[in-house]
Structure 1
């Protein structure tokens, strides 16, 4: 009987270990995207390593999340466009230097409010089948709850922090802000400048920050760089609403052209 008890205990421990080893957040519940069907996607890189997502909003501008570069001191910031694989040679893939990084002036380390970053490329991107700007929402209104939206990125795909080489994507349902602000979810922290999407084992995770939440072919939100546990149904994904910052985005880009 003692041997049987030991054997059962060992099986229980093994089962727990296997459960712990399952992916906790990736573009969790998603799959590999079709090559170059999201030609707006950008990989924001520091010293040659992917740190965040982003997307092309104009020929010389990429929109991402402000927190992505908070811990970057003297690192070389670049943007990779036209990529499906981060490592393999591809005909349209090109790495651009960043001329200027402009975080939203009200973004701060201790909050995800105003978590936006504009990156001005050193030159205009070479547009083509694999590199195109993404239209973004300018009308400041909420996306209806349960709307299906698309999100993509090269964020981590397992609890060990393993990142995929090829672009991943998934489809998520928008969650009503009032629901997202319930005590059992984000307890009143979601402002009118943010939106939520369901995260029940289908979610964005570390490395996906800065990527677009695309609804009906238009960027409605930007993945924030929050520290929540990926794939936790009690912590829905949080996105910065692009339309709330239309004046700032336009102003930064126009100011650079006038300079």
Structure 2
């Protein structure tokens, strides 16, 4: 065997390794290395849709109210979302899956397109959701204190799952540890843009991303945060996932729901 022939297997192996590294280095736009959630074990999850297409996540916090992220409205041209509840698969028939029309959607007045501050959106359904085993309200945190670093929390969504933009039909989930705000604010990470009303989770290899925005970060059974920063490069440990903490906004949430048509007394999950 000549030297050129002997070198071919080595070159082929190197090429395969290089291609694998390139693919592995392109984690944009997906729940990176997450997994399919067990069907209907997150009965609070909502899909915010336009024209029958999933745009963002959200979650039921009262029978007639869904909480999501304000930046999800940036490309809606003033059109109201529709909200899908009771779903695991976005396309397949399921016993309690139902699409609700939205009566009002209220972004926090402090939210804007230039940063991640006050990135919350409340959606009032036209009617109260029918609660059952697949549709449930999720309690949110009202005590204004930080979640301890290294606490492992869950996030889920129907966001894109490949760098080419492929979307999953079934709900995906990922578990990530909370990281200290000081570390998240390091100049090599988010460079002092993370406020006391935000929190971060480690994004090394596993992460939330585009299309997961608005979904809850659940720690010990309670929604602590809302997925924000949907345009962030995902899966990069130098750009940790950013969430809006819910507890500092509990008063605003209660006020908006109380001012909406209909009485929400007894509908809100409190922890």
Same fold, judged at TM 0.5 (above): yes
Which residue of structure 1 aligns with residue 85 of structure 2?
81
Q: Distance in 2 between matches of 1:168 and 1:249?
A: 27
Preserved contact between residue 145 and residue 174 of structure 1 (Cα < 8 Å): yes
Which residue of structure 2 aligns with residue 21 of structure 1?
23
Correspondence 1:48 to 2:52: yes
Shift in Å at residue 182 of structure 1?
Answer: 1.2
1:115–1:4 CA distance, 2 compared to 1 (3 A):
farther
Gaps of 5+ in 1: none
The 3-state SS of whatever aligns with 1:257 is coil
Which residue of structure 2 aligns with residue 100 of structure 1?
104
Shift in Å at residue 223 of structure 1?
Answer: 0.2
Deviations 1:138-186 (A, max 9, x none): 0000000000111111111110111111001111100011111111211
Deviations 1:227-258 (A, max 9, x none): 22100011110000000111110010001136
Gaps of 5+ in 2: 264-271
Preserved contact between residue 209 and residue 230 of structure 2 (Cα < 8 Å): no
Which residue of structure 1 aligns with residue 72 of structure 2?
68
Q: Distance in 2 between matches of 1:84 and 1:155?
A: 13
Alignment of 1:138-149 (within 5 A): 138-149=142-153
Deviations 1:73-115 (A, max 9, x none): 1545200000000000000000001111100011001111111
Alignment of 1:6-17 (within 5 A): 12=14, 15-17=17-19
1:256–1:75 CA distance, 2 compared to 1 (3 A):
closer
Q: Distance in 1 between matches of 2:119 and 2:171?
A: 23
Deviations 1:39-94 (A, max 9, x none): 00000001110010000000000000000011111545200000000000000000
Moved over 2 A (4+): 1-23
Which residue of structure 2 aligns with residue 37 of structure 1?
41
Moved more, 218-227 or 111-120: 218-227
Correspondence 1:235 to 2:239: yes
Which of 248, 255, 259 is equivalent to 2:259? 255
Which residue of structure 2 aligns with residue 209 of structure 1?
213
Shift in Å at residue 20 of structure 1?
Answer: 3.0
Deviations 1:200-238 (A, max 9, x none): 011001000000000010000000034221000111100
Q: Distance in 2 between matches of 1:74 and 1:106?
A: 18
Q: TM-score, normalised by structure 1?
A: 0.94
The 3-state SS of whatever aligns with 1:21 is helix
Which residue of structure 2 aligns with residue 168 of structure 1?
172
Which of 107, 115, 122 is equivalent to 1:118? 122
